[in-house]
Structure 1
């Protein structure tokens, strides 16, 4: 069963997490490629939204 945030199987809840190999790319995309807004601070909310 998948609800987008995680999966519940046999009473256990599994959350979706980032793969270590993709971590740098995710952080770089959020903090450097700020949707055409150079110099804007991403902050914690924008980081965890991805």
Structure 2
């Protein structure tokens, strides 16, 4: 997983196993705003836009 801000700056990368996903905390120190989370699993890649309030 890679987290980018809307200016395209890479903020964080994490290697997360599916078993551990529910216990992960991501972006706690980020200010309110919009972020792109790029999630890759095998050959599949998804971009998720996240709004933090």
TM-score range normalised by the length of the shorter chain: under 0.3
Structure number with larger C-alpha Rg? 1
Higher relative contact order (CA 8 A, sep 6+): 2
TM-score of the aligned structures, taking structure 1 as reference length: 0.25
TM-score of the aligned structures, taking structure 2 as reference length: 0.24
Q: Which has the higher strand share?
A: 2
